[in-house]
Structure 1
Amino acid sequence: MKFKRIFIYACATIVLYFGIGALLLNFEIIQRLYIFPGWSIKHGATDEDSSTVSADGPIIIYRDGKILNYQVVPSPKGFTASVAEISENDSLQCYVDETGDRFRFLLNNSVQVQPSEYSRPAKILALSDIEGNFKGFKSILQGNGVIDSQFNWTFGANHLVLNGDFFDRGLQVTECLWLIYKLENEAEKQGGKVHFILGNHEMMNLKGQLKYLRDKYEHNADTLKLPYADWYARESALGRWLRTKNVVEKIGDLLFVHAGIRKDFPKEYTIQQINENVRAAIDKVFKKGEQAKDIFIGNESPIWYRGISNEEESQQNLENTLIRFKASKMIVGHTIVDQIKSLYQGKVIDIDLDHKTNSDQGKMYALWIENGTFYSTDQQGTKEVVK
């Protein structure tokens, strides 16, 4: 009888665990329900994710007056965790497991909030929604003379615009971020600029909303004994850096934004004020249902709104938005198109492509802007005028 009661209690506990867990997943109160260590169900997961522990880092954490470098590094038996105290002047190495590449960089002694408006350079290369695809990212940058084979900035005083969504879905998110971080410093020394614009997936990760996070990162977090939430918190190097970024930037008369600015976005806000409010929202705790309605990071905010890419607005309304910001064009990502193309009689250019599929086929595309002309350029630097 005693064994029977224990068995009944155990079964009831399991049923209760999965019942409550399924409910919490459904309402996105939790993002992951663990079944066994290393085996879990994710909210919204539609495809099997077989990714597991692999190379990652550096993850730089500032704690108790120390700078700690967490990394998952290759070893004869696979991968092992490495944690070491470093100094501000130490050279750091990032290893890319998929490609076998390595590059080195230094930490910034300080990070500053980025301006919202810039003068227009001679050349701009713009792309969005890389989603942890280091191989594709590398090929488009090298093929267009932005970096050399050693990952050094070779684009001079020109600008690289990254229009959001470098997080989630792919397996080299950390590596992409550190390359951007590295290039940002090098570009400014040459009079150039790297613009990293926040998208909805950056915001989701910064706020701990991990619906699209690959299993690799949870496994790596367990291996490092460093919760994934800490990787991009205020006490981390990448977290501090990301909190200086904008969601809307104007370069000359070109307006860059991840998703788009809708026609009825409140007119009292300047570009700078939009950016300030988005940064404030990163660490703001919203009550249930409030975030989705928030004008700065909610469902119809500049990081989520699909109405422009889906051509749901009138030509006049779109042009009124551009007039309001004294811009000639809006360049957006977020909504996948089959090729880089212009919308609204050339007033909008959509640059979000299925980079994963393209790079698997040896192809990559980005937007090239030079002498007032807008081109689609591929991984070999071959250009065609955008239509």
Structure 2
Amino acid sequence: MRMVEGAPVVRLRRAVRVALAALATLLVIVGTPSLAQHPQRIVAVGDLHGDFQAWTAIARAAGLVDGHGHWAGGATVLVQDGDITDRGPDSLKIIRNLQQLQKEAPRKGGKVVVVLGNHEAMQLLGDFRYTTPGEYAAFVDDQSAARRDRVYELNKAAIEAAAHAKDPKLTPEAIRAQWLAETPLGWVEHKLAWAPSGELGKWAARNPAVVKISDTVFVHGGLSAEYAATGIDEINRRVAAAMAAADDTPASILTGPLGPLWYRGLTGRDPDAEAERPPATNATPRPTIDQELTAVLAATGAKRIVIGHTPILTGIAILNGGRLVRIDTGISRYYGGPLTWLEIVGDQLTPHTVGRPAP
């Protein structure tokens, strides 16, 4: 049996419908909240190269962490633009803090993005030219000496053969002593951690080489027109595959001068990159840097690109009408540049500087 609603109920339903219609009209006039009305705060930090003190000073000054190193940035997006490792002693400390913040930030509505730098790729590829003793020492434990001895014994024949190829008169004792001197404690653990199957190698491979957040593209070295044309997703796919395979061939995206980890063509003419390109002719002249920048931004649908890799010790540089931003200011004590970070809120770009803490 159908129940008949009383007049008060009917009037209440009519009032609700009128109120909802009025609210809908108001939303059409005022508009719903948008990114433009509530712009996202992005903090971008350049190359750190093993300087944990500098990183901590920047992170605190930017309001990203509290006094205990935990996330305090709320809904901020932090982008660390690569090259955490090498040149300084405390790369592992920085990585561990960033890994922690990658877990903590989402709980507060924020995010931490670590862009892959060429020096992280070098670690995975076994290129330790710039790795410092402190970076190896960070991996030392009470089993390090025994592990190193086992590695020597397992590779003794090959080590002795390589040594004798240089000096046939070397005794086994001299060869061993030389190898130990060249292989500090922690080296074995460091190499294992950074291998493609190692904990840090896998972590680095998961980090993007190029990331676009709102209207801004972040990349470590730079984005050449050639790679920009392939698309960000394809670049990251190729980089991840090359990291998994430890591809260090000259044509690898990890080592090539046109690739996103090494490209310097947006900061000046890069002879290595130019050698990879077809020769310029009168019919096809080489585009200017500004023209290439225009092509890169068009290909990525971005307003600006933020890069590190090439130090500029005078501070963050906002160039080409705000379309190119260089944030590698030599933050590490190795370079002695200013401690800086870039804040992006909507279309407002604000460079910041904090004083270097005492050693």
Q: Is the pair's TM-score, using the shorter chain for normalization, greater than 0.5?
A: yes
Structure-2 change in CA distance of 1:147 and 1:317 (3 Å): same
Is 1:165 aligned to 2:91, yes or no?
no
Offset of 1:229 from its aligned partner?
1.3
Instruction: Answer yes or no: is the 8 Å Cα contact 1:140–1:366 preserved in 2.
Output: yes
Offset of 1:299 from its aligned partner?
2.1
Instruction: Answer yes or no: is the 8 Å Cα contact 1:135–1:359 preserved in 2.
Output: no
2:317 corresponds in structure 1 to 341
Runs of 4+ more than 4 Å apart: 118-121, 218-223, 357-361
1:99 corresponds in structure 2 to none
2:233 corresponds in structure 1 to 272
The equivalences for 1:366-381 within 5 A come to 366-379=341-354
2:245 corresponds in structure 1 to 284
Q: Distance in 2 between matches of 1:209 and 1:375?
A: 36
Is 1:352 aligned to 2:328, yes or no?
yes
Instruction: Answer yes or no: is the 8 Å Cα contact 1:136–1:359 preserved in 2.
Output: no
Instruction: Provide the aligned length of Structure 1 versus Structure 2.
Output: 258
Offset of 1:263 from its aligned partner?
2.3
* 1:230 alignment partner AA: L
Q: Which has the higher contact order (CA 8 A, sep 6+)?
A: 2
Q: Distance in 1 between matches of 2:293 and 2:58?
A: 30
Q: Distance in 2 between matches of 1:358 and 1:211?
A: 15
Unaligned runs of 5+ in 2: 1-34, 148-185, 271-287
Q: Distance in 1 between matches of 2:344 and 2:122?
A: 30
* 1:339 alignment partner AA: G
Instruction: Answer yes or no: is the 8 Å Cα contact 1:131–1:168 preserved in 2.
Output: yes
Offset of 1:163 from its aligned partner?
0.4
1:309 corresponds in structure 2 to 267
Q: Distance in 1 between matches of 2:296 and 2:64?
A: 32
Offset of 1:238 from its aligned partner?
2.8
The equivalences for 1:232-271 within 5 A come to 232-265=194-227, 267=229, 269-271=230-232
Q: TM-score, normalised by structure 2?
A: 0.66
Q: Distance in 2 between matches of 1:151 and 1:216?
A: 21
Offset of 1:219 from its aligned partner?
5.3
Structure-2 change in CA distance of 1:247 and 1:217 (3 Å): same
Quick one: which of 93, 102, 111 aligns to 1:193? Answer: 111
Structure-2 change in CA distance of 1:283 and 1:128 (3 Å): same
* 1:304 alignment partner AA: W
Q: Distance in 1 between matches of 2:202 and 2:246?
A: 18
1:153 corresponds in structure 2 to 71
Structure-2 change in CA distance of 1:275 and 1:354 (3 Å): same
Is 1:231 aligned to 2:207, yes or no?
no
Unaligned runs of 5+ in 1: 1-117, 381-387
Instruction: Answer yes or no: is the 8 Å Cα contact 1:126–1:163 preserved in 2.
Output: yes
Instruction: Answer yes or no: is the 8 Å Cα contact 1:230–1:236 preserved in 2.
Output: yes
* 2:240 alignment partner AA: R
Higher helix residue share: 2
Q: Deviations over 1:159-198 (max 9, x none)?
A: 0000000010010000000000001111011111000000
Offset of 1:234 from its aligned partner?
4.5
Q: Distance in 1 between matches of 2:47 and 2:99?
A: 17
Q: Distance in 2 between matches of 1:238 and 1:128?
A: 20
Partner-residue secondary structure (3-state), 1:187: helix
Instruction: Answer yes or no: is the 8 Å Cα contact 1:332–1:350 preserved in 2.
Output: yes
1:365 corresponds in structure 2 to 340
Higher strand residue share: 1
2:258 corresponds in structure 1 to 300
Stretch of structure 1 that moved more, 351-360 or 270-279? 351-360
